Amino acid sequence: MNVKILSCWFTTSYGTYTNGLRRALERRLGHEVGMIASNCGCGDPMEVGRKFMDLRCEFVELVNVPYYKKSNAVKEWLMVQARQVVYRERARRYLKLTGNAEVLHFQQILNAFGSVTVFNWLDMPCTAARVVTVHELDAYQQQHPELGSNYNKADGIIVHTDGMRDKLVSLGVHASHIEVVQHGIEIRPVYERPRGGIVYYLGHKLNASKGLITILTSLALLKKELGPEAPLLTIHGHYGGTAPEEGLQIAREAGVEGSVQWLNEISFDAAVDLYQGSQLCVLP
């Protein structure tokens, strides 16, 4: 069976996820699995620097149109139309690279791999079976829930949580069409050493919706209550090799900069060890 995966292929969490999936499929199939990748539009240092997992991919380079809303209704309408045009072309480019693939597996995240691209991609004729793993629902499809039934055009949908399955069903996706795969394909041994501290995943960007102020304020309360027994907070994220200045400033203002360790971008193996060794793991 010839399989190709469509996904972000930079050295971030999604690249690591896709690489694990690719290796697992290659072990099972006994031959190489193709990779169709693109500049995803997130603007992370890994994307800007084009730091791929490896060079085994067919790469599509196109402009991205962000989700930012415009205050002017006319500008917003133009932005939406531009996004449709750009991402429909990206979907066409992806299909052009299908080759002799019998199965295409699309990893839906955001931007170049978001819902606009996915739904245009599913609308186009193709002889390969098409599977979509839905990792995230983007802003556009959440504003237009009536588009959810487009997923029924896929040959199968994969999600990683019951919550995502239930959400898709509420958007009109047939429940029989969805498979829940909870634990991924690289399950590590149980961590047997003593656990300690709190690990917090900051993601790919620092922004207000991720609760950094809340967790650092909470840490300040713990520090006041527990003194030297207060836990160390370790912050990990795929935003580059240095701690974001805004985050450092928030920690200083909360009075907890000495109780925070910024790990920034670390290897996948180091991240697994970090998360398994923590007493508490916080994922916004």
Q: Please report which helix (H) or strand (E) contains residue 58, including its range.
A: strand 58-60
Q: Is 150 helix (H, G, I), strand (E, B) or coil?
A: helix
60 and 97 in contact (C-beta within 8 Å)?
Answer: yes
pLDDT of residue 152: 98
pLDDT of res. 155: 98
8 A C-beta contact, residue 254 and residue 217: yes
Say what the pLDDT of residue 151 is: 98
For the chain, the domains span 3-180, 198-282
| Token couple for 230 | 């207060």
User: How much is the pLDDT for 198?
Assistant: 95
* H or E segment to which residue 198 belongs: strand 198-203
Pick the CATH number of 3-180 from 3.20.10.10, 3.40.190.10, 3.10.20.30, 3.40.50.2000: 3.40.50.2000
pLDDT at 207: 73
Structure tokens given for 78:
């133009």
Give the chain's radius of gyration (CA, Å): 21
Q: What is the pLDDT of residue 180?
A: 96
- Please, what is the average pLDDT of the chain? 90
Is the four-CA dihedral 85, 144, 203, 134 of positive or negative sign?
negative
pLDDT score recorded for residue 208: 67
Low-confidence stretches of the chain (pLDDT beneath 50): none
Domain 3-180 and domain 198-282, same fold? Reply is: yes
The number of C-alpha atoms within 13 Å of 5 and in the hemisphere containing its C-beta is 23
> CATH code for 198-282?
3.40.50.2000
